């Protein structure tokens, strides 16, 4: 689905938003809102809501909706409610409610004292239903779920009236009351709106408003055994809260006539529903149902597994709320579905972390280096800047000694062309330290594996600069063997190997596209001693490698665990550069 064109479109959207010298054009939602403000519709109020169903953890797609709804409220000096759409008792759990609140707060938004639940309105919704029955606009129907489907007809054929459609108002009132009282079994009856079985819009063919379900609800307990459908609950909840603009995703476009019909029949405050395209992100997926499957079947370590596109997963991975908000801002809102390149999200993250993350040295795959002409037992404390992007972040001391670790990848016995790092006879700079030269390679006698390098250093190059102007091409990071700390580092890759894993059109289940290499754990990494007190969740840049954060779940004083938040290499910046050139 995603092609060069959609890349192009994403980039243009991003550019639109970021060009400082041109006023960004209003998106279609802001255009509607500004028109409403101009005509003083709703007395100039802007009131939105974010309505999650508490049946899973929030994902980055929800972040788009959160940023949009709360963002509009801020921009237009309005309000945004957090409303749990908890109409489905069997699927909802209090754990999800708590996680959703935490995630919205973490993203930087505040619902003030406006935390609501659709279940708060069960009594009012019941009264509204009675009101519709009394004017002959709703009836109790005894058809089974399957029969209702059969009677509904298809896109090309009109539906058939239910044999119960012409029940008297008195009979409907009586039956509905007894439905509520618990006299009937699950699935034996429903309440339906009486609209038009021949409507070209299937949603208008006498949709179900209530079903019988003897289930315990996380807030109302066993008070109710009839539960409203989404269509019946949502618009009326919006109206009760005085929501002016009810922003939802495109799949509800066909439900809008029904949304409007209910509000018109009841004659209550009429919220306007506006639909926008949901966020899809390459190499991952946004369906809560499918994400739940990954958790339950153990394909990931939990909802907050750092590979998950959930807010809690991104947080544990080391994402900042600022970078996610920036991303949502850049992708903007549109009416057409597309897949956004995950590289754009990573690009926003790098931009943010580049400014704030202190630089440190860590060796992920250590190779021992002995500096033969450096006195045994001597230790020097060298100065290192914490962030070249921000001098106010200061400097720190790093210990240098005779025994060091460098990255195994930074040495080649037979260097190919353009390999400017260490090799026999070659001189390189150790960051913040000295020039060193590789004099000899020590190998394991049995396996032939390189196990140690014997080097010399030039004392005249302290700080990493030679006084005689001698240049070297490579600069390596390193740590001192006796001072370094042991650490476990987790490297991540896309969760799926397919760009659009949710697309099961080739007949394969989405899980067949799981990336077997999405997690690589390195157990014998070495990091500089300044990280001894790094707090869980804190972030830093491992020089030349990427941004990392201390894992908030598994890391402790005795076991340092880092997650790779994002490597330094920025594929999005490359795309952008190419676009600018063309
Ligand atoms: P899922 O498809 O992941 O199960 P959902 O739409 O059922 O999601 P809700 O809890 O009902 O999840 O969603 C709350 C709000 O977030 C809704 O207004 C919904 O339209 C919006 N939303 C959900 N997914 C996305 C997405 N990918 N992009 C933008 N908005 C989304
Ligand atoms: Mg939903």
Probe residue for ligand 1, chosen from 48, 53, 62 as the CB with the greatest number of ligand atoms within 8 Å:
62
Per-position pLDDT tens, the chain of length 582: 334 444 444 444 444 444 444 456 899 999 999 999 999 999 999 999 999 999 999 999 999 999 999 999 999 999 999 999 999 987 768 899 999 999 999 999 999 999 999 999 999 999 999 999 999 999 999 999 999 999 999 999 999 999 999 999 999 999 999 999 999 999 999 999 999 999 999 999 999 999 999 999 999 999 999 999 999 999 999 999 999 999 999 999 999 999 999 999 999 999 999 999 999 999 999 999 999 999 999 999 999 999 999 999 999 999 999 999 999 999 999 999 899 999 999 999 999 999 999 999 999 999 999 999 999 999 999 999 999 999 999 999 999 999 999 999 999 999 999 999 999 999 999 999 999 999 999 999 999 999 999 999 999 999 999 999 999 999 999 999 999 999 999 999 999 999 999 888 888 899 999 999 999 999 999 999 999 999 999 999 999 999 999 999 999 988 999 999 999 987 777 777 787 777
CA distance 333 to 29: 8
Q: How far is the CA of 275 from the centre of ligand 1 (A)?
A: 12
Q: What residues pair up with 440 in beta bridges, in sequence order?
A: 454
Check if 52 has its Cβ closer than 6 Å to any atom of ligand 1. yes
Q: Return the residue whose CA atom lies nearest to atom 18 of ligand 1.
A: 248
Helix (H) or strand (E) holding 398, with range, is strand 395-400
Catalytic (active-site) positions: 53, 278, 288
Check if 62 has its Cβ closer than 6 Å to any atom of ligand 1. yes
Q: How far is the CA of 85 from the centre of ligand 2 (A)?
A: 8
Check if 51 has its Cβ closer than 6 Å to any atom of ligand 1. yes
Check if 249 has its Cβ closer than 6 Å to any atom of ligand 1. yes
Residue in the structure block whose two tokens are 């040495």 = 411
Check if 251 has its Cβ closer than 6 Å to any atom of ligand 1. no
Q: Return the residue whose CA atom lies nearest to atom 2 of ligand 1.
A: 287
CA distance 70 to 107: 10
The beta strand positions in 19-123, using DSSP E, are 47-50, 79-84, 115-117
Q: How far is the CA of 147 from the centre of ligand 1 (A)?
A: 30
| Domain boundaries, given as residue ranges, for the chain | 4-117+232-351, 123-229, 362-477
Q: How far is the CA of 86 from the centre of ligand 2 (A)?
A: 10
Phi/psi at 71 (5° precision): -65, -45
Q: How far is the CA of 288 from the centre of ligand 1 (A)?
A: 9
Q: CATH 3.40.50.720: does it fit domain 362-477?
A: no
DSSP-based three-state secondary structure for 408: helix
Residues 421, 436 contacting (CB under 8 angstroms): no
Q: Which atom of ligand 1 is nearest to the CA of 64?
A: 29
Residue in the structure block whose two tokens are 């959160």 = 66
Q: CATH 3.40.50.620: does it fit domain 4-117+232-351?
A: yes
CA distance 51 to 83: 5
Of 122, 119, 162, nearest in space to 143 by CA = 162
Residue 12 CA neighbour count, 13 Å, CB half = 9
Check if 321 has its Cβ closer than 6 Å to any atom of ligand 1. no
Q: Return the residue whose CA atom lies nearest to atom 22 of ligand 1.
A: 62
* pTM: predicted TM-score of the whole model, two decimal places: 0.92
CA distance 8 to 10: 6
CA distance 60 to 41: 32
CATH code of 123-229, in short, is 3.90.800.10
């Amino acid at each position: 689905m995603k092609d060069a064109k959609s890349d192009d479109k994403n980039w243009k959207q991003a550019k639109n938003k970021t060009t400082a010298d041109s006023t960004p054009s209003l998106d279609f939602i802001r255009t509607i809102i500004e028109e409403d403000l101009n005509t003083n519709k709703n007395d100039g109020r802007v009131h939105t809501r974010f309505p999650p169903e508490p049946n899973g953890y929030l994902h980055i797609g929800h972040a788009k909706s959160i940023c949009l709804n709360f963002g509009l409220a801020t921009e237009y000096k309005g309000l945004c409610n957090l409303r749990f759409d908890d109409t489905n008792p069997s699927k909802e759990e209090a754990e999800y409610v708590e996680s959703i609140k935490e995630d919205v707060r973490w993203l930087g938004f505040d619902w003030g004292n406006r935390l609501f639940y659709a279940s708060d309105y069960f009594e009012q919704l019941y009264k509204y239903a009675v009101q519709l029955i009394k004017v002959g606009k709703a009836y109790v129907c005894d058809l089974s779920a399957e029969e209702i489907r059969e009677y509904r007809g298809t896109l090309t054929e009109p539906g058939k009236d239910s044999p119960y459609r012409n029940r008297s108002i008195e009979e409907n009132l009586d039956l509905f009351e007894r439905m509520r009282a618990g006299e009937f079994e699950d699935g034996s009856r429903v309440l339906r709106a009486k609209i038009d079985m021949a409507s070209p819009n299937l949603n208008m063919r006498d949709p179900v408003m209530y079903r019988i379900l003897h289930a315990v609800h996380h807030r109302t307990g066993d008070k109710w055994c009839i539960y409203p459908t989404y269509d019946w609950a949502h618009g009326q909840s919006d109206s009760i809260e005085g929501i002016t603009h009810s922003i939802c995703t495109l799949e509800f476009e066909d439900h809008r006539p029904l949304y409007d019909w209910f509000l018109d029949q009841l004659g209550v405050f009429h919220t306007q529903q506006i639909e926008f395209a949901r966020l899809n992100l390459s190499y991952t997926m946004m369906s809560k149902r499918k994400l739940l499957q990954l958790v339950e079947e153990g394909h990931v370590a939990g909802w907050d597994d750092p590979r998950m596109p959930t807010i809690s997963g991104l947080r544990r991975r080391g994402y900042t709320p600022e970078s996610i908000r920036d991303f949502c801002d850049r992708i903007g809102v549109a009416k057409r579905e597309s897949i956004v390149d995950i590289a754009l999200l990573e690009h926003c993250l790098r931009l943010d972390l580049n400014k704030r993350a202190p630089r440190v040295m860590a060796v992920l795959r250590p190779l021992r280096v002995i500096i033969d002409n450096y006195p045994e037992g001597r230790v020097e404390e060298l100065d290192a800047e914490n962030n070249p992007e921000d001098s106010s972040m200061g400097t720190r001391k790093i210990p240098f000694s005779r025994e060091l670790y460098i990255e195994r990848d930074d040495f080649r016995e037979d260097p190919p062309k353009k390999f400017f790092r260490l090799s026999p006879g070659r001189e390189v700079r150790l960051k913040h330290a000295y020039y060193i030269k590789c004099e000899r390679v020590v190998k394991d006698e049995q396996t032939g594996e390189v196990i140690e390098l014997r080097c010399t250093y030039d004392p005249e190059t302290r700080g990493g600069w030679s006084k005689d102007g001698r240049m070297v091409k490579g600069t390596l990071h390193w740590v001192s063997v006796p001072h370094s700390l042991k650490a476990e580092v987790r490297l991540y890759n896309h969760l799926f190997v397919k760009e659009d894993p949710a697309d099961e059109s080739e007949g394969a289940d989405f899980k067949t596209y799981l990336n077997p290499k999405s997690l690589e754990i390195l157990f014998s990494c070495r990091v500089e001693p300044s990280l001894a007190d790094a707090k869980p969740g804190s972030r830093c840049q491992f020089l030349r490698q990427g941004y990392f954060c201390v894992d908030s779940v598994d890391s402790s004083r005795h076991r340092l665990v880092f997650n790779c938040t994002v490597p330094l290499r920025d594929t999005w910046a490359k795309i952008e550069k190419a676009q600018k050139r063309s």
